[in-house]
Structure 1
Amino acid sequence: MKLLFKQRLFSWFDSYDIYDENNLPVYHVQGKLSWGHCLQIYDQTQNHIGTIKEEVLTFLPKFNMYLGEQYIGKIYKEFSFFKPVFHLDCNDWKIQGDWLEWDYQIVTSQGQLIATVSKEVFHLTDTYVLDIILPQNAIYVLMIVLAIDAEKCSRQN
Structure 2
Amino acid sequence: MRFFIKQQVMSLKDRFYVKDEAGRDRYFVEGEFLTFAKKLRIYDEHNNEVVYIEQKLWNFLPEFDLFMANEKVATVKKEWAVFRNNYSIIGQDWHIEGSVTAHDYVIKKQDRVIADINKKWLSWGDAYEINLYEEHDLEILLGVVIVIDCVISAARGNSST
Same-fold call, TM > 0.5?
Answer: yes
Distance in 2 between the 1:121 and 1:23 partners? Answer: 16
1:124, distance to aligned residue in structure 2 (A) = 7.2
Query: Any residues of structure 2 matched to 1:109-148 within 5 Å, and which?
Result: 109=110, 111-121=111-121, 126-148=126-148
Q: TM-score, normalised by structure 1?
A: 0.92
Look up the SS of the partner of 1:16 in the other structure. Answer: strand
Q: How much identity, in percent, do the aligned residues show? A: 25
1:51, distance to aligned residue in structure 2 (A) = 1.1
Runs of 4+ in 1 over 2 A off after TM superposition: 121-126
Look up the SS of the partner of 2:26 in the other structure. Answer: strand
Q: TM-score, normalised by structure 2?
A: 0.90
1:32 aligns with 2:32: yes
Matched positions, count: 156
Structure-2 change in CA distance of 1:31 and 1:125 (3 Å) = farther
Q: Deviations over 1:1-22 (max 9, x none)?
A: 1111100133112210001111
1:100, distance to aligned residue in structure 2 (A) = 2.0
1:26, distance to aligned residue in structure 2 (A) = 0.5
Distance in 1 between the 2:124 and 2:85 partners? Answer: 23
Q: Which moved more, 1:83-92 or 1:124-133?
A: 124-133
Distance in 1 between the 2:67 and 2:52 partners? Answer: 5
1:100 aligns with 2:117: no
Match of 2:57 in 1: 56
Look up the SS of the partner of 1:131 in the other structure. Answer: strand
8 Å Cα contact 1:52/1:66 also seen in 2: yes
8 Å Cα contact 2:3/2:129 also seen in 1: yes
1:4 aligns with 2:4: yes
